[in-house]
Amino acid sequence: MTASDPMTTPSTPPVPSTPPVPESAPSPPALSCRGLSKRYGDVHAVRDVGFDIAPGEAYGLLGPNGAGKTTTISMLVGLIRPGGGHVRVCGVDLAADPMRAKARIGYVPQEIALYPELTGRENLRFFGRLFGLPRRALAGRIDEVLDLVGLTGRADSRLKTYSGGMKRRINIGTALLHRPDVLILDEPTVGVDPQSRKAILDGVERLVGEGMSLLYTSHYMEEVERVCDRVAIIDHGRIIAEGTRRELIALVGGADKVELSLDGDLETALAKLRAVEGVIEAAMTGAASIRLLTEGGRYLLPALITAVDGCAAVTATQVIEPDLEATFLHLTGSTLRD
């Protein structure tokens, strides 16, 4: 008989092993860090880094070479001890309970670490067993993971015959076997072929669509813009801005440039364009071109074309919307790829 048998203990209800969670209690962040710091001699690799990633959120860490992305991740996954700060994974303190915290993470390092003589499937099996996944469940899970990374057709070739991008896809697969809550990818597309890059980005979007939380680091801003809900810009070890793509772009003013090529009376056209609602600035940039700074960019084009009707004809248009690259340049004074 057990203490929880209702027949033997009618007056004392069974005690659940964990206290019930009130229905209104919010889930803890999938990943949370505060005050993370790391020094290597005189180099402050990471300085006071902190952020929260909500369950199901895709969070990007965008920064140039040497910004501190890998050092930050190494502390988040417990590979190096922080000089300061702390990490929680799904509410579990990494320092206090590393095994339980790490079990919730799937980590794909920047460097590929696989066995060249084994096939893709054998590599996955090896790492699955290493994680302690039961043999019976593993075979089916490996098939799912191979499908996710788009390598079902090559699963039984030796790894040494794979392209760099395919190896990286298997590396990502190893991190997914145990169904982690948070996937951490450190520059997953550096040096990979376009086909693998597409497979990686599609796979990542699918996982996030299914509810996985993601930390994605890259110095390719177009990838971060595509995949991530929120982005932190990191430079010289510090997070210098954080927000959605729109919020970050708003830091540089958020205005769109519109370039118009025109035939006709440009002086009159200029005056008429300046009067259009949404036009912030307009100036002639040549004998047949006008540049405008606008709110609304492409959506303003019909109004701009109508405004000059009668004095000039628009022969070509170009809209340049600001992106994270522009934000990065604005905040740091340098480009992401220098």
Dihedral sign, CA of 158, 161, 164, 166?
negative
257: which residues sit within 8 A by CB, 6+ positions away?
A: 291, 292, 293, 294, 319, 320
Q: How far is the CB of 48 from ligand ATP (least distance, A)?
A: 14
Indicate whether 189 belongs to the interface with Mg ion (CB under 5 A).
no
Give the x-and-dash track for 97-136 against Mg ion (CB under 5 A). -------------x--------------------------
71 interface partner picked from ligand ATP, Mg ion, none, CB below 5 to 8 A per type: ligand ATP
**The only residue of 31, 33, 36, 45 in contact with ligand ATP, by rule CB under 6 A:** 45
Contact between 70 and Mg ion per CB under 5 A: yes
- Member of 40, 179, 222, 267 binding ligand ATP (CB under 6 A): 40
Can you give the C-alpha Rg of the chain in angstroms?
26
Min CB(208)–ligand ATP separation in Å = 22
40 to 69: interface string for Mg ion, x by CB under 5 A: -----------------------------x
- The answer to whether 181 and 55 have CB atoms below 8 angstroms apart is yes
Nearest to 85 by CA among 47, 54, 59, 29: 47
173 binds ligand ATP (CB under 6 A): no
Distance of CA 114 to the CA centre of its chain: 24
| CB-based contact 287:331 (threshold 8 Å) | no
In the set 32, 37, 71, 171, which binds ligand ATP (CB under 6 A)?
Answer: 71
Q: In what order do the strands lie in the sheet with 289-294?
A: 279-286, 289-294, 256-264, 312-320
Least Å from the CB of residue 235 to ligand ATP: 9
Residue with tokens 């690799």: 45
Contacts of 327 (CB under 8 A, 6+ apart): 233, 241, 248, 249, 251, 252
Q: Which residues, 6 or more positions from 153, have their beta carbon under 8 angstroms from its beta carbon?
A: none
For CA atoms 261, 263, 268, 269, the dihedral sign is negative
Residue 70 near ligand ATP by CB under 6 A: yes
How near is the Cβ of 111 to ligand ATP at its closest, in Å?
10
Smallest distance, Å, CB 37 to Mg ion?
Answer: 17
Q: Does 65 bind ligand ATP (CB under 6 A)?
A: yes
Please, which residue, 40 or 115, has the CB nearer to ligand ATP?
Answer: 40
CA distance 233 to 215: 13
Binding positions for Mg ion, rule: CB under 5 A: 69-70, 110
Residues that bind ligand ATP (CB under 6 A): 40, 43, 45, 63, 65-71, 110, 219
